[in-house]
Structure formats: structure tokens, C-alpha cells
């Protein structure tokens, strides 16, 4: 086992001295940083190429409007070394136990073909089976399938919802509805849009025990039955790491698409949890999506120091949380197709790195994951940007946009959209003086810009993999385990006790239960 689970005294000492150094560095303003370094843009804005020929699609990662400079990057590189970033990254890709509290590896990259050989082979076998089922259903093996209701929650829903919304707006091969909330209104909304005779269900749950998913799945089965479908379980495909539980629930083995226990829920979009994406796009596009992520995996695995894009992003994240006290970070997608990206990133970043103890159980040395929030541009400009420009909180912002539009309307739409996106970054940085304090903008507010050539399966795959690795890199720098999530359990346990009855709670909770007629 790699020492991923243990932080040595020497690592602790070296990381403390790297932080000491970081705290002592001068903090020039963004304007000073640009003025003092003519090559700043070349150093901090990098073209990431997907493919090797001239026609390769690219993603531009521009961190030049953050306060990272050569001195900070060098000191963060020392921190990364102190935390054995290279060793821990090797352990991640090598399929070692990097999730010590659950005794598990974290092998999402193997789903993209990058990782331990046996795990890559197992993932390829599972994908082979998934491709065969997707293609068979497209050819009519389950009769006419016009609608697919995908039932899951958290990592079993946010990724599929985002990917389908981003990539399958035009010409989707099936109409996908993702339902996660236990509130029956969510399920009813999906039913309204579906013809039961032409609807199949995907029940997505790593554990196949999650109360919301199983309750929603029962209701969907009931809906099919009540609407004349004779064998509703025959309309179900199960996406799970617990195939035996899916069988017990009533799904035939031939329609169970398994994935490995070592793929975490919020990292599972690449596994069979991506089934609705493959159903909507067709297998070749799903394979492109995996390939785009694999290109980012290889970059992350093979690049050292600040040239490593996810690691560089993590340096900026650490700079703002630990050196500038920022409690939140905001993500604005200037692209309607990526409107669900902030929701997805909330789970990825907050469930992974919202911790108070390190991987060895000791208390963390400083703040961990900031609160990830955001929205879609330009809508958010007219709602929350006031605080970004003039509020008292310093909020590092990521802008994400695509050069190619996703629609056929006049190009005015896209020109105005992108102009606004770039204008916001420029305005946050430049600020504006005024004799009237209410009209003054302090400026020197940071942002990063991720500019895709286009929103395609490959660029989208690379974008999501970039964020997974950024999250991992942040965790390594803070010494925490990003792959467990015990913080979600207590509320679930108490909900179970309430369901069971007989437990006395605090007076406020008791009163609420009584009012709602639950006790
Ligand atoms: O409660 C949190 C969580 O365990 C997430 O980590 C996970 O993505 C989600 O619930 C759903 O879990 P499952 O896929 O097992 O239904």
C-alpha cells in the first residue's frame, strides 16, 4: 500500500515551511503583475490540444488574471513536493489504496483507459457490454424506445444530467429525463413528458440501496404497470456496482450494467452511469467523450510542476482559500449548454474536499474546500455580479465559454455573449475609480477563463477530467482524502430513525414532525 494514507512527520514539517514561505511572499496586484512581466500571458494562458494534427480542437486555460506569479508558483511547487504530489498521483493512477478510510482505490481514470492494466481491461470489458446493449436498444431490442427516464441521485444523476444537456440538445437518439429528487413532483414531471409504451427506465445507483432512487424506481415501475406495460421490470436497465442487489430488486442479469466498486459516485459518469449519455448520443460520441478525458488524464499524469494545468489551478485555489481567506469560489458558464456545470462541480468539489481532518485523521492545517457556487452568463450578471464587483467578499471566479456557438440564430447572440464574458473578467481586474464611493470599483479581483473551441464530446470530457484532477490536486496539497464522504451519513441515519419512530429528538425537530403529521 502506498503511504497515501499516512502523512509523515517530515512531510508535515516540509509543508509547514512551504506555507511559511508562501505567507511571506509579496502579493502584487494584478495590474502590477501584468506590468512587471511582459511574458505573463504566455506563462499563464495555455492551449490544451485534443489531437495532434493542425485541426486539433483546443481548450485555452487562462490563469493570468489570478494573483499567481513565478514566486508563488515556485513556492507552491515546493509545497507539492513536500506533500509528495508525484507519489500520490502515481498511487492514484496505479490503482493503489488512495481512499484509506474506505480501503479503496479511486479508479475513474481506468474508465478512460488510463490506469492500472487490469482495471483498464475490466473497464473496457464493461464498456464493451454497455456499447452492445446501447446499440441493441437503438436497433429495437426493447421495442420502440422514445423516452428514457434515468433515476439516480448525486453522482448517479448530476453527471448524466449535465452531459445530456451539454451534448444532446440537437438530434438526441432518445429523449432523456433525469429524475433525482424524492419529491414526487420531480417524477410526475418526467411522466408528463413520456409515453409509457415507449419509455424505458435506467435505475442508476452505485449501492442500489439509496432511498430516493429506490422509491422513485418503484413509482416508475408502478406508473408503467398502471399504464398497460405488462412486464415493467423488463423495461429497466440497472447501472450499478452492486449487481446482486439489482437482481434481488427484480432486474434481469442481462440488463445489468456493472461498474467497479473502485469508481466513486461523483467520479462515475464515465462508467455505466453514463448510459443515458450513450443512449442519447450514440456510442461513437460517448467514446469521444472518454477519449477527451483520457487526453487530460495523460497530461495530468505526465506533466510536472505549474505546467500541469489541474495542479496550476489547484495552486490558485489554495492561494485564495489559504492566503487570501476566500470562503467561496464561483463558476459562471457563458454557455447555456453548460448551465448545469456549477451544480456538478458543487458535488465534485464540496463532497470531495469539504473536510476537517486530514487523511491520517489529524485536524487540517487551514480551511479546506471553499463553497463552490455559480450560474450561467449572462443571466448571473443581472443578478449576483454586483457582489463580485463591489461586495466585501473576495470571490475568485472561473468563466467558461465556447468560441463556437451552440445554435443557428444570428451570430449577434454569441458575439454579445462572449463580449460580456470577457468584459466581466476585464472589469473585475481593472476596477474603476470614482469620486462617488458608490460608483467606485476596487478592481484587482481575480478570474480565470476556460475557453473551449467548441462544446464537443471530447472537449467536454477533457473539461470534466480537468476538474476531477484539480480536486485531487487540491486534496493532496491540503493532505486530505477526497474520496470518502462520511459527512452525508448522519442526516440519512436520523431520517431512518424518524421513519422507524420511537426516537425522541430536540424540541424544534419534534415540533416540526408533529406539525407535518409525521410523529
Ligand atoms: O449521499 C451521498 C452519496 O453517497 C453520493 O456520494 C452518491 O453520489 C449518491 O449518494 C448516490 O449514491 P448511489 O449511487 O449509491 O445511489
271, 309: one domain: no
55, 169: one domain: no
460, 349: one domain: yes
Q: Which atom of ligand 1 is nearest to the CA of 153?
A: 11
Kindly report the CATH number assigned to the domain that includes residue 245.
Answer: 3.40.50.10490
Percent of the chain whose pLDDT exceeds 70 = 99
Distance between CA atoms of 46 and 448, rounded to whole angstroms?
12
pLDDT at 123: 98
Q: Is the pLDDT of residue 6 over 90?
A: no
233, 322: one domain: no
- State the average pLDDT over residues 12-23: 91
Handedness of CA 113, 118, 123, 127 (dihedral sign): positive
On the 0-12 / 13-18 / 19+ scale of CB atoms within 10 A, 90 is: middle
265 lines ligand 1 (CB under 6 A): yes
315, 457: one domain: yes
**Residue 209 located in a structural domain:** yes
Considering 257, 286, 315, which residue would you say is the last residue of a domain? 286
443, 510: one domain: no
Q: What are the tens digits of pLDDT across the range 252-279?
A: 999 999 999 999 999 999 999 999 999 9
Q: Is 192 a catalytic residue?
A: no
Distance between CA atoms of 183 and 197, rounded to whole angstroms?
24
Tell me the residue range of the domain where 503 lies.
Answer: 488-519
Phi, psi (degrees; rounded to nearest 5) at 111 = -65, -25
The alpha carbon of 114 and the centre of ligand 1 are apart by a number of angstroms equal to 24
The alpha carbon of 210 and the centre of ligand 1 are apart by a number of angstroms equal to 7
The distance of Cα 483 from the centroid of its chain, to the nearest Å, equals: 13
Q: What are the tens digits of pLDDT across the range 239-253?
A: 999 999 999 999 999
**Residue 363 located in a structural domain:** yes
Residue nearest to atom 6 of ligand 1 (CA): 265
Q: Is 21 a catalytic residue?
A: no
213 lines ligand 1 (CB under 6 A): yes
205 lines ligand 1 (CB under 6 A): yes
Mean pLDDT of the chain: 96
352 lines ligand 1 (CB under 6 A): no
Q: Is 407 a catalytic residue?
A: no
C-alpha cell, 422 = 470577457
485 lines ligand 1 (CB under 6 A): yes
The alpha carbon of 148 and the centre of ligand 1 are apart by a number of angstroms equal to 21
The alpha carbon of 156 and the centre of ligand 1 are apart by a number of angstroms equal to 7
**Residue 379 located in a structural domain:** yes
Q: What are the tens digits of pLDDT across the range 92-151?
A: 999 999 999 999 999 999 999 999 999 999 999 999 999 999 999 999 999 999 999 999
159 lines ligand 1 (CB under 6 A): no
Phi, psi (degrees; rounded to nearest 5) at 352 = -80, -50
**Residue 295 located in a structural domain:** no
C-alpha cell, 473 = 490536486
- State the average pLDDT over residues 159-174: 96
266 lines ligand 1 (CB under 6 A): yes
DSSP secondary structure string for all residues of 36-87: H-TTHHHHHEEEEEESSSTT-EEEEEE-TTSS--HHHHHHHHHHHHHTTHHH
210, 94: one domain: no
C-alpha cell, 139 = 436497433
186, 63: one domain: no
Phi, psi (degrees; rounded to nearest 5) at 350 = -80, -35
Phi, psi (degrees; rounded to nearest 5) at 253 = -50, -35
120 lines ligand 1 (CB under 6 A): no
329, 448: one domain: yes
461, 502: one domain: no
**Residue 103 located in a structural domain:** no
Q: What are the tens digits of pLDDT across the range 440-496?
A: 999 999 999 999 999 999 999 999 999 999 999 999 999 999 999 999 999 999 999
Q: Which atom of ligand 1 is nearest to the CA of 212?
A: 16
**Residue 30 located in a structural domain:** yes
pLDDT at 12: 79
**Residue 73 located in a structural domain:** yes
Cβ of 286: how many Cβ atoms within 10 Å?
A: 25
The alpha carbon of 162 and the centre of ligand 1 are apart by a number of angstroms equal to 17
Q: Is the pLDDT of residue 30 over 80?
A: yes
pLDDT at 5: 56
**Residue 92 located in a structural domain:** yes
420, 518: one domain: no
Nearest to 97 by CA among 391, 508, 483: 483
Residue nearest to atom 3 of ligand 1 (CA): 154
Best residue among 182, 206, 270, 471 to mutate for probing ligand 1, ranked by most atoms within 8 Å of CB: 206
pLDDT at 56: 85
C-alpha cell, 477 = 496539497
Phi, psi (degrees; rounded to nearest 5) at 260 = -75, 145
Best residue among 101, 152, 155, 471 to mutate for probing ligand 1, ranked by most atoms within 8 Å of CB: 155
Beta strands 45-50 and 397-402 are unpaired
Question: Residue 1: which pLDDT band, with cuts at 50, 70 and 90?
Answer: very low
Q: Is the pLDDT of residue 4 over 60?
A: no
Q: Is the pLDDT of residue 509 over 50?
A: yes
pLDDT at 349: 98
Q: Which atom of ligand 1 is nearest to the CA of 210?
A: 16
Is there a contact between 179 and 187 (Cβ–Cβ < 8 Å)? yes
210 lines ligand 1 (CB under 6 A): yes
* Count of domains observed in the chain: 3
372 lines ligand 1 (CB under 6 A): no
Q: Is the pLDDT of residue 2 over 80?
A: no
Residue nearest to atom 9 of ligand 1 (CA): 154
364, 502: one domain: no
Amino acid at each position: 500500500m502506498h503511504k497515501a494514507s499516512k502523512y509523515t512527520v517530515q512531510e508535515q514539517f516540509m509543508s509547514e515551511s512551504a506555507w511559511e514561505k508562501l505567507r511571506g511572499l509579496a502579493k502584487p496586484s494584478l495590474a502590477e503583475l501584468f506590468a512587471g512581466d511582459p511574458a505573463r500571458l504566455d506563462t499563464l494562458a495555455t492551449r490544451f490540444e485534443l489531437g495532434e494534427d493542425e485541426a486539433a480542437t483546443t481548450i485555452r486555460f487562462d490563469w493570468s488574471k489570478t494573483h499567481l506569479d513565478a514566486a508563488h508558483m515556485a513556492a507552491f511547487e515546493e509545497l507539492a513536493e513536500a506533500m509528495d504530489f508525484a507519489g500520490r498521483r502515481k498511487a492514484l493512477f496505479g490503482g493503489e489504496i488512495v481512499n484509506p478510510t474506505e480501503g479503496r482505490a479511486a479508479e475513474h481514470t481506468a474508465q478512460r483507459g488510463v490506469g492500472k492494466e487490469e482495471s483498464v481491461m475490466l473497464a473496457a470489458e464493461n464498456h464493451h457490454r454497455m456499447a452492445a446493449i446501447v446499440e441493441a436498444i437503438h436497433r429495437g431490442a426493447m421495442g420502440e424506445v422514445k423516452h428514457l427516464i434515468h433515476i439516480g441521485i448525486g453522482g448517479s444523476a448530476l453527471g448524466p444530467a449535465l452531459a445530456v444537456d451539454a451534448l444532446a440538445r440537437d438530434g438526441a437518439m432518445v429523449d432523456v429525463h433525469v429524475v433525482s429528487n424524492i419529491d414526487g413532483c420531480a417524477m410526475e414531471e418526467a411522466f408528463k413528458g413520456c409515453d409509457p409504451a415507449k419509455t424505458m427506465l435506467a435505475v442508476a445507483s452505485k449501492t442500489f440501496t439509496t432511498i430516493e432512487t429506490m422509491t422513485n424506481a418503484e413509482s416508475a415501475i408502478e406508473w408503467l404497470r398502471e399504464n398497460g406495460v405488462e412486464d415493467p421490470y423488463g423495461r429497466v436497465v440497472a447501472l450499478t456496482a452492486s449487481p446482486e442487489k439489482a437482481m434481488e430488486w427484480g432486474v434481469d442479469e442481462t440488463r445489468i450494467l456493472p461498474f467497479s466498486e473502485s469508481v466513486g459516485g461523483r467520479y462515475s459518469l464515465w462508467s455505466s452511469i453514463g448510459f443515458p449519455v450513450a443512449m442519447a448520443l450514440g456510442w461513437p460520441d460517448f467514446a469521444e467523450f472518454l477519449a477527451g478525458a483520457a487526453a487530460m488524464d495523460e497530461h495530468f499524469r505526465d506533466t510536472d510542476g505549474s505546467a500541469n494545468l489541474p495542479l496550476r489551478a489547484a495552486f490558485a485555489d489554495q492561494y485564495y482559500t489559504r492566503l487570501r481567506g476566500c470562503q467561496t469560489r464561483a463558476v459562471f458558464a457563458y454557455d447555456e449548454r453548460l448551465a448545469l456545470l456549477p451544480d456538478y462541480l458543487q458535488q465534485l468539489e464540496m463532497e470531495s474536499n469539504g473536510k476537517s481532518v486530514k487523511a491520517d485523521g489529524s485536524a487540517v492545517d487551514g480551511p479546506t474546500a471553499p463553497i463552490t457556487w455559480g450560474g450561467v452568463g449572462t443571466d448571473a450578471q443581472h443578478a449576483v455580479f454586483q457582489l463580485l464587483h463591489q461586495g466585501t467578499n473576495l470571490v475568485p471566479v472561473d468563466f467558461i465559454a465556447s468560441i463556437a456557438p451552440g445554435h443557428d440564430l444570428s451570430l449577434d447572440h454569441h458575439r454579445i455573449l462572449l463580449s460580456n464574458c470577457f468584459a466581466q473578467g476585464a472589469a473585475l481586474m481593472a476596477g474603476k475609480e470614482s469620486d462617488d464611493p458608490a460608483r467606485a470599483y476596487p478592481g484587482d479581483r481575480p478570474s480565470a477563463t476556460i475557453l473551449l473551441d467548441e462544446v464537443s464530446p471530447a472537449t467536454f470530457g477533457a473539461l470534466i477530467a480537468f476538474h476531477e484532477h484539480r480536486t485531487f490536486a487540491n486534496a493532496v496539497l491540503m493532505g486530505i482524502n477526497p474520496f470518502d464522504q462520511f459527512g452525508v451519513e448522519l442526516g440519512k441515519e436520523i431520517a431512518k430513525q424518524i421513519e422507524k419512530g420511537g426516537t425522541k429528538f430536540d424540541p424544534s425537530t419534534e415540533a416540526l414532525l408533529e406539525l407535518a403529521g409525521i410523529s
